[in-house]
Amino acid sequence: MFIKKDDTVVVLSGKDKGKKGKVLSADPKNGKVIVEGVNVAKCHIKARRPGEESGIIKKETPIYASKVMRVCPKCGKPTREAHQFLKDGSKVRVCKKCGETI
């Protein structure tokens, strides 16, 4: 899975198509990511202790990583990423469209 935490992504399909957001968490085992402001569900919370509030909260739920695409910070377009080795031997992610290091 190429999407990582803190990446900016755009949603490719579904009810939130076209929305951009930051990846809050990634789950490579299940191939899912949680994106800020995308796939929001209402969750009913009951107060468990005195002083706690109950009510309805909005919470982001996971979506498949195949439904999102990384946005290049330089060109601002959704892009696939390539991997490149630097002279010191470290591996970096590179934008396929503009060639900028991500």
Mean of the per-residue pLDDT values of the chain: 93
Q: Give Cα separations from 32 to 4, 22, 23 (angstroms).
A: 11, 14, 11
The residue with tokens 């991500």 is 102
Kindly list the distances between the CA atom of residue 87 and the CA atoms of 49, 52, 55, 84, in Å, as whole numbers in the listed order.
Answer: 58, 56, 55, 10
Q: Which residues contact 39 (CB under 8 A, 6 or more apart)?
A: 14, 15, 16, 60, 61, 62, 63
Cα–chain-centroid distance for residue 67? Answer: 10
| Residue-level pLDDT at 84 | 92
pLDDT digits (tens, 9 = 90+) for 38-53: 999 999 999 999 988 8
Residue 68 has a pLDDT of: 96
Domains assigned to the chain: 1-71 (2.30.30.30), 73-102 (no CATH)
Q: State pLDDT tens for residues 55-67.
A: 999 999 999 999 9
